[in-house]
Structure 1
Amino acid sequence: MPKIDDSFLMNHTCLRIKDPKVSVPFYTENFGLKLLKYLAFDDFSLYMLGYEDETTKGKNWSAREGVLELCHNHGVENDPEFKVNHGNGPEHRGFGHICLSVDNIQVVEKKLLDNGVKFQKKLADGRQKDIAFALDPNGYWIELIEHGIGKVEAKTDITSYKFNHSMIRVKDPKKSLDFYRNVLGFKVLSTHEFPEAKFTLYFLGYEHSKDFSEDSVDRSLKASKQALIELTHNWGTESDPEFKGYHNGNSTEGGAIQGFGHTCVSCKDPAALCKQIEEEYGDEVKWSLKWDQGNIKKIAFVNDPDGYSIEILGYDLFADSANL
């Protein structure tokens, strides 16, 4: 297993968007995310959004957990045919949603509705009355849960919101858990089985305490965290010869369109991590891009068992470049 030190964190989740003039204000005004960094390249631009508090002030965007990366390919905002794959349609399913945890979910839902935000599921819909799913301008699902920190009746404090997790569907949980735990050093925080609906949820994150016991985090504590990955396993896919797998968000094969891009692990020595993965696992682990071999230097993209990309980078990436 590669050496995992306490610098490891889940840095960001990347989503492709149509129009940054619509998407960036949607997240900053409705959910209190701040624009941490704007990076412009020849054909695309990246908008790094995250929450600011006393623990993150002065930190580079790549040295933080819980960042949302919005990727804009120049010109698509003027293309009436352009759309993204939000991952939840009848075809090309894979990525499911991002999740924000808030202090007072009922107040937040009303505020969003008053602001014209559309919902896939309101609190009153369905059996689960404690979660809701809002829709962003591109159709991505945003799960809303309540952490209850500092909760005040009939009020909400936008500075308390957290980017809690990103959900992806996986075919075989044993293979996926082995990869995230052994290759990248994640820990299993909690597992939730739903026998009636025949699916299981695995929540993973970085926990560096030597005293941490896996699968020990309750729902309340989990809701107060940032930068988790939720693996959703629909029972039977691992043994179904007809199941073709999930869409990784980047492939256009079979008429698929792109949407979700990747998640990202950051650490102080990403080059060492990539070297250790290659030395230990060889061809068992697939790469979209090996370390420092792309047009953008000092990054890599490794693939999980379902083909989802995980970017690997360091704390200082583009630290010296100014917002444009």
Structure 2
Amino acid sequence: MDWKLKGFVHSGITVKDLKRSIDFYENSLGLELVRLQTNDKPYIYDLVNIQGLEKIELAFLQTPDGQIVELLEYHGETIEDGSSLHSHYGTGHICLHVENLDAMYEHLQRRNTDIISEHVVQITSGRHAGSKAIYLRDPDGYVIEVLEYI
């Protein structure tokens, strides 16, 4: 093999309203906004190959351990709603590690977050047995898992 995987760079999530999503990821989930960027350079049009694209506005948010979540708002082309059930192929989720998931669950309820799980779930088997988790949706319907190791 002439190539080698070196590591993971970031996760990207396409959003409808960048400001609304930044608020959610900062104030509901606790990520830190580290950079805003507008990309309207010629290379981006070749990279994403979307007819009618004018620009992409981006926000880079960071978890306390340094992982990056990139939010992207596309401008100038027809925007389609990509929501579907999280059990459908072609969808995905990110998983965030937290402390005190019970308190976070209450915080998310107060913020009227779209929480999929009806309660904090105790994981009873597998690699994370003994931990707790919930599933929720961001403002655009993207699924986020939140996990507390016990």
Q: Tell whether the structures are fold-level matches, with TM greater than 0.5.
A: yes
The reply on whether 1:286 has 2:100 as its aligned counterpart is: no
User: Which secondary structure does the structure 2 equivalent of 1:290 belong to?
Assistant: coil
Q: Distance in 2 between matches of 1:264 and 1:293?
A: 15
In the TM superposition, what are the counterparts of 1:33-112 in structure 2 within 5 Å?
110-112=2-4
Unaligned runs of 5+ in 2: 42-53, 125-130
In the TM superposition, what are the counterparts of 1:1-324 in structure 2 within 5 Å?
110-112=2-4, 161-196=6-41, 197-207=54-64, 226-235=66-75, 243-247=79-83, 250=86, 252=88, 258-278=89-109, 280-281=110-111, 284-293=112-121, 298-316=132-150
Unaligned runs of 5+ in 1: 1-29, 31-109, 113-157, 208-224, 253-257, 317-324
1:155-209 CA-to-partner distances (Å, cap 9, x unmatched) read: xxx7xx44221111111111111100110111111122123541112111124xx
Q: Distance in 2 between matches of 1:275 and 1:163?
A: 32
Q: Distance in 1 between matches of 2:19 and 2:71?
A: 11
User: Which secondary structure does the structure 1 equivalent of 2:92 belong to?
Assistant: strand
TM-score, normalising length: structure 2 = 0.72
Amino acid at match of 1:300: I
1:231-251 CA-to-partner distances (Å, cap 9, x unmatched) read: 1110257xxxx7442245726
User: Which secondary structure does the structure 2 equivalent of 1:289 belong to?
Assistant: coil
Shift of 1:294: 7.7
Shift of 1:287: 1.2
Q: Distance in 2 between matches of 1:289 and 1:236?
A: 36
Q: Distance in 2 between matches of 1:290 and 1:194?
A: 39
Judging changes above 3 Å, is the alpha-carbon distance between structure 1 residues 293 and 226 closer, same or farther for their aligned structure 2 residues?
closer
Q: Distance in 1 between matches of 2:99 and 2:76?
A: 39
Q: How many residues align?
A: 132
Q: Distance in 2 between matches of 1:292 and 1:311?
A: 11
RMSD between aligned residues:
2.9
Amino acid at match of 1:170: V
Identity %: 29
Q: Residues 203 and 231 of structure 1 are in contact (CA less than 8 Å); yes or no, is this contact kept in structure 2?
A: yes
Judging changes above 3 Å, is the alpha-carbon distance between structure 1 residues 249 and 191 closer, same or farther for their aligned structure 2 residues?
farther
Shift of 1:226: 4.7
Decide which moves more: 184-193 or 242-251: 242-251
1:95-133 CA-to-partner distances (Å, cap 9, x unmatched) read: xxxxxxxxxxxxxxx425xxxxxxxxxxxxxxxxxxxxx
Q: Distance in 1 between matches of 2:122 and 2:98?
A: 19
